[in-house]
Amino acid sequence: MGKWSPADDAELATGWRLWLELSDRVWPDPSWDGTPADAIRQVRSLLAVCEEIRLSYLSETPRPSIALLQLLQSMSFVASFAVDLWHDDTHPLDVERAELLHGDLASFADHVAGVRAALARGGGWAELDRRPWGLPVD
């Protein structure tokens, strides 16, 4: 995962907001109806928030950070395969398809964890990604 270090307050605030948004939106929430399309709903929602964060950041700064923009854009790039594959699949999952969907979501979750780690290291809040006993939160 790339390195990032905020150059100004706008960049720090954007990184912090992205870090917070990435904390719990990868896996289906309790309202999940058991279909792949609904599982992907939360990922699509997260991608929409990432785009909102990107546009807001671009409107706030005359010299945007390439590293931060790359972290933001990596979200949609990495999620695109799973979103394209599952977004319109409204059939209940069987065991085989559940394993495939889980694998796709797990790959995206790994990427999200890497982005969160890069943001935490660069923003100076890496200790927030740890539980009191030292295990990673993600």
Using 50, 70 and 90 to split pLDDT, how confident is the model at 118?
Answer: very high
Cβ contact 98:79 at 8 Å: no
Band of pLDDT at residue 21, cut at 50, 70 and 90? very high
Q: Is the residue at 135 inside a domain? A: no
Residue 84 in any domain: the answer is: yes
Whole-angstrom CA distances from 64 to 26, 50, 116 are 26, 15, 19
Instruction: Decide if 1 is inside a domain.
Output: no
Question: What is residue 26's predicted lDDT score, i.e. its pLDDT?
Answer: 86
pLDDT, average across residues 47-62: 96
pLDDT surpassing 70 at residue 134:
no
Mean pLDDT to the nearest integer, 63-69: 94
Evaluate whether residue 70 is within a structural domain: yes
84 CB-near residues (< 8 Å, 6+ apart): none
**pLDDT reported for residue 131:** 52
Assigned domain for 33 exists: yes
Q: Judge whether 138 lies within some domain.
A: no
Element (H, E) at 121: helix 95-123
136 falls within a domain:
no
- The domain tally of the chain equals 1
User: Is 2 domain-assigned?
Assistant: no
pLDDT at 33 over 70: yes
Residue 51 sits in which domain range?
9-130
* Structure confidence at residue 53 (pLDDT): 97
The first and second tokens of residue 4, run together, are: 């990032």
With a pLDDT cut of 90, the percent of the chain lying above it is 75
pTM above 0.75, yes or no: yes
Q: What is the pLDDT of residue 123?
A: 85
